[in-house]
Chain A
Amino acid sequence: MSVNRLTVRYGTGCSDCENGIGLQKNRCPKCGTIWALRDAAFSLYQGEVLGVVGESGSGKSTMMKCICFDESPTLGEYTVHTGGGNAFQLSRQSQKQFRNERMGMVYQNPMLGLKMDYSVTSNIAENLIASNCKNVSHLRARVTELLEIVEISPFRMKEKPKYFSGGMQQRVQIAKAIANNPQILLLDEVTTGLDLSVQAKVLDVIKKIIREFNVAVILVSHDLAVIKMLADRTVVMLDGEIIERGLTDQVMEDPQHPYTQQLVHSLL
């Protein structure tokens, strides 16, 4: 997949800020428009992991939301390998279908990705049903298989995720995200706020999925250690723009932009 000239702005914009003149960080002092994303472009190949780093407010999550159609960008082209054409211009219906069948999304906050009052099974089966798998025994078999991948005992498949720990909820989200064998997996700060051993468990599961399923992954994190461990390539964002990109070890060991240097030098 590839994304080009992706721009999201909140506000009307004026002649100054549309040409990038006089912006204070990503806000135009003249008309008050916020440029959450500006001309972001990147591509991603099958089996590859792209890391996205940047401080909060740099546009990481906005970019992810656009990619999974949670938000419509002001401008931009989004080409996906099999589709052709600009996916941002598809109908809501087709976008939804595309997301169900080809994409998996794991949110930082499990509340966004899971329905806490429904059982683990119905959460995971949701996307399967949406893409027309209606046979109950097939569904149950698939859910069991997925729970094994994310290392949750199938005995707990009837429980509600609200009684699960944070790390387990994340793993249920991952099981749900990979249910349809997606081509693209979006992971938004999946390990943030988890304690170290639980974080390790979640990362183990992610590593396993990357290795075995040849999926393209976008990994948003402000934890450079996680990025270093998993990402093949990395882009660095600041104030809504991608300011640096390269192989992960290039970005970490030979950072070019002042902000990236500051970021890398803060790594413990």
Chain B
Amino acid sequence: MNTILSVKNLNKTFRIYEPDRTIKTLENISFDLAEREFLGIVGASGSGKSTILRCVYQTYRVEYGEIRYRSVRYGNIDLARAADREILHIRKKEIAYVSQFLEVLPRITARQSVENSALEVGASYEEAQASAEEMLAYFHLPSDLWDIYPHMFSGGEKLRLNLAKSMVKKPRLLLLDEPTASLDADSKKLVRGILVKLNHEGASMIGIFHDLDFMDGLCNRTLNITVR
């Protein structure tokens, strides 16, 4: 099978000036991700699991190491050295990052925020409308909430909206940073269902989950990070 992502000797250190500290978070992390593979990252808290995902997504800059990603648009590209524009394009169309925190623009309704995501990948307005509704319904978000600003949503509702926003893009590579952290059992089942579906449709995934039962049978492989 083809490799979609290959991380080699990834190192990440945070230099903080006030107070003066240097925090070494990742040291020589290497792994490969095959197409359609689901890799679970496990490790104690503070071991750098999220940092790996954030380096791949380029929220964190990488000082040493390579993150080779096979992009549709740019071919084999090292994300750690890619230009800002390339990263922006890849984020829009190819790689999605889902965390347990919802970040939405103020005064945008739940429906609009999912539609905007769909529009970013290049859907027409009608397509975006249809797929947004489909996603919101799939995640059992009550339809009377669709046209409300999500600030007042409950934790679980926000999370499901967050997932709907990312999933509507049908990303090629999905980075999941504990997206089920505050969900009840039923909602977790839904999330699991859509992850399986996306995975079958061809998406590759890297996920961090606290819930080991949730990971069981979902991930093809796990990567164990030890605390430094």
Contact assessment for A233 and B84 in the assembled complex, using a CB-CB cutoff below 8 Å? yes
Asked if A261 meets B18 with Cβ closer than 8 Å, knowing A253-B59, A254-B60, the reply is yes
**CB < 8 Å: which of A207, A229, A250, A265 contacts B61?**
A250
Q: In the complex, what residues of A have CB within 8 A of residue B60's CB?
A: 250, 253-254
In the complex where A246-B84, A256-B15, A261-B18 touch, is A229 in contact with B59 (Cβ < 8 A)?
Answer: no
Which residues, 40 to 84 on B, are CB-close (under 8 Å) to A? 54, 58-61, 84
**Which residues of A, 209-268, contact B by the 8 Å Cβ criterion?**
211, 229, 232-233, 246-247, 249-250, 253-254, 256, 258, 261-262, 265
B105 within 8 A of A: yes
Q: Let me know if B212 is at the binding interface, CB within 8 A.
A: no
Residue contact A200 to B106, C-beta cutoff 8 Å: yes
A45 at the interface (CB under 8 A from B): yes
Interface residues of B in 5-31 (CB under 8 A from A): 14-18
Give Cα A48–Cα B84 distance, bound, in whole angstroms.
11
Closest to B104 in A: A229
B18 and A262 contacting across the interface, CB-CB below 8 Å: yes
A253-B55 Cα distance, complex, nearest whole Å: 11
Residue of B nearest to A261 (CB): B17
Q: Which of A45, A211, A249 has the most CB of B within 10 A?
A: A249
Those of A170-207 within 8 Å (CB) of chain B: 200, 203-204, 207
A197 nearest CB across to chain B (Å): 10
Q: Provide the residues of chain B in CB contact with A203, threshold 8 Å.
A: 106
Complex Cα–Cα for A261 and B18 (A): 8
Report chain B residues within 8 Å CB of A258.
Answer: 17-18
The residue in chain B whose Cβ has the minimal distance to the Cβ of A259 is: B17
Q: Provide the bound-state CA to CA distance between A246 and B58, in Å.
A: 10
Residues of B within 8 Å of A211, CB to CB, are: 116
Docked CA distance A204–B116 (Å): 14
Question: What are the residues of chain B within 8 A of A45 when measuring CB–CB?
Answer: 85
CB-based nearest A residue for B17:
A258
Chain A interface residue count, Cβ-Cβ cutoff 8 angstroms? 21
Contact assessment for B16 and A250 in the assembled complex, using a CB-CB cutoff below 8 Å: no
8 Å CB interface, A32-87 against B: 45, 48
B105 touches A207 (CB 8 A): yes
Query: B141 within 8 Å of A by Cβ?
Result: no
Cβ–Cβ < 8 Å partners of A265 in chain B:
18
A229 touches B18 (CB 8 A): no
For window 116-149 of chain B, which residues contact chain A by CB distance below 8 Å?
A: 116
Query: Which A residues are in CB contact (< 8 Å) with B105?
Result: 207, 229
Residues of A within 8 A of B87 (CB): 247
Q: Does B107 contact A (CB under 8 A)?
A: yes
Contacts of B61 in A (CB 8 A): 246, 250, 254, 256
Considering only residues 79-104 of chain B, those with a C-beta below 8 Å from chain A are 84-85, 87-88
Residues of A near B58 (CB, < 8 A) are 247, 250
CB atoms of A254 and B18 under 8 A apart: no
Which chain A residues lie closer than 8 Å to B17 at the CB level? 258, 261-262
Please name all residues of chain B whose beta carbon is closer than 8 Å to the beta carbon of A249 when the two chains form the complex: 59
Query: What chain B residues lie within 8 Å of A253 (beta carbons)?
Result: 54, 59-60
The 3 closest A-B pairs by CB, nearest first: A258-B17, A254-B60, A249-B59
- Can you name 20 A-B residue pairings with CB atoms under 8 Å? A200-B106, A200-B107, A204-B107, A229-B105, A229-B106, A232-B88, A233-B84, A233-B88, A246-B61, A247-B59, A247-B87, A250-B59, A250-B60, A253-B54, A253-B59, A253-B60, A254-B61, A256-B15, A261-B16, A261-B17
Known: A253-B54, A261-B16. 17 other contacts (CB 8 A): A45-B85, A48-B85, A204-B107, A247-B59, A249-B59, A250-B58, A250-B59, A250-B60, A250-B61, A254-B14, A254-B61, A256-B15, A258-B18, A261-B17, A261-B18, A262-B18, A265-B18
